[in-house]
Structure formats: C-alpha cells, structure tokens
Amino acid sequence: MLIYLDGNLVPKEEALVSVFDHGFLYGDGVFEGIRVYEGNVFRLQEHIARLYESAKTIALEIPLTQEEMIQATTRTVAANEKQDAYIRLVVSRGPGDLGIDPAKCKQATVVIIVATIALYPEEHYQNGVKLVTASVRRIPMESLDPRVKSLNYLNNILAKLEAKNAGCLEAVMLNHHGLVAECTADNIFMVKNGVLKTPDLMQGALAGITRAAVLDLARERSLETQETVMALHDLYNADECFLTGTGAEIVPVVGIDGRQIHDGKPGPMTKTLLAAFRELRVRDGVKVAMPQAVR
C-alpha cells in the first residue's frame, strides 16, 4: 500500500506523522471519506470542495489548490491500482508545539490513504436495521458548525458507543433543542405521505455528499422533498426511514427505540432510491487511469 504524504507516495510502513502534529494532539484538522467504484472516484469535486470549505472555516490553509488535490487523489488511487476502494483524505494543522496556538504550526500535513472498506452486509439492505437514540447530543452550531467535517469526532464516537452497547448499528443524534440532527456517521431520511424529508443543515447535520445525491435522485423522479425540522415523533410515525453515507450508501431503517417503522420492512421509495444510487455511483465520478504496473 502506498500512502500520499505531503507530496510523496510512500509505503504504509514509512507513512509517519509527527507526534507534535496538532491533528494528533488536538484533532485540529479536516477530512473526507470518498468511495471509488469500478475505477471512478464518486463525486470527487464535491468532496474536495467540502474539504476546502471546512478548512476555510477553521482557518486552515491547505498547501495545494483544489485541482492539485484532485490530481493527488487520483494519483494515489492509480498507484494502489484499486478499482473499488475507500479514500481517506486528511489535512491536519501540522506539527507545532504542545500549546494549542495554531500559529505555531508552520504548514499543514496532507495524507491520502486508499484502502479497502468493510461494507455493510447485504442483509442490512434487504431487511433493514434498527436504531437507538443516543443520549449524547450533537455539538450545537454555536460551538462548532456541523458542516465542518473535522478530525475531532469524539461527540459522534460517544454516541456510536451507545449504539453498540444497545446492539444497534447506528444511533440517532438530537441537537440541543431535542430535534433530529443526524446519526453518528450517516444522515437520516424519512418518508411520510409520499414526501421525502431530511433534517435541514441548521439542525446539526453534516452536508453529506450521499445526502445531496439522494435529494438529486428524488427530484429527478419528481418526488417531493423537504429539508426540514424533524422530531423523534416524526421518525417513529414515518412510512419509511433510511440512512445515507459514503460507507452506508442507502440503508433502510425498520425500527427506532423499539418502535417499528410502518410494517417493519424497507419501503418502496427506499428501494427505488437505492437502486438508482447504485447506478449513479459508477457513472457520476472521476475516472482514474490505472497503470499496467506500478514500480
């Protein structure tokens, strides 16, 4: 495995980052998770644009232009010769001292990892999953804008621990007003009376790339969509519910907090959108030219 590290492709064993890097010390940085399908990097431009927006918000200067970052990403995919993969693109504040002052970090660290990903079992897509609501609340916008995909994921991790302890794949996270924001690593959607709904971004949701793709697919099919305010009452009484994310794609939800969603089976709109997404993911991407051999 070859890792992109600050402009160079190095073997995994040599991909070393300083223990004084503020990404390691304080979670000071941003990242993206991106999928490769059949040699196509899915919505790469959108992922890179979101990365740079996150970096701008936290005043992190990335030492590459967006076009250079796209080239670095496709170069790393090609070097690893993977047709299907998961990309983890990380930009940290870089090495500094033991204080939190970001001015002590002279240059950001850029890492691109291309590896395999453990996909959800197919049974989750066929039968659906059950969720629990976490007691851990989403960090409020007054503290950190949820649209920033930062390296500090402790809030989500604590909620994920609650899900695991409850025997569930995922947990619903509420904002500080008690309204639905998202899940620990996925956005959440519901269907009620033929209308597709998802929490608006001001409720504490990340602006997911798969979330946007699903909204696009729904509108292309003349389905009514709403980015709105949702409470647990709405989820419990939904006709359908599903999760979206880079790793998850679209996973049906059949129960939340012991309440069955409708008839306890994946709904027709969920199935339609999942099928449409699986077609979209191959054609809507940046094609990577794979070398015959990498020396």
Residues carrying an active site annotation: 149
DSSP conformation letters of the chain: -EEEETTEEEEGGG----TTBHHHHH--EEEEEEEEETTEEETHHHHHHHHHHHHHHTT---SS-HHHHHHHHHHHHHHHT-SSEEEEEEEE--B--SS--GGG--S-EEEEEEE---PPPHHHHHH-EEEEE-SSPPPPTTTS-TTS-BS--HHHHHHHHHHHHTT-SEEEEE-TTS-EEEESSSEEEEEETTEEEEE-GGGS----HHHHHHHHHHHHTT--EEEE---HHHHHT-SEEEEEETTTEEEEEEEETTEE-TTSS--HHHHHHHHHHHHHHHHSEEE----S---
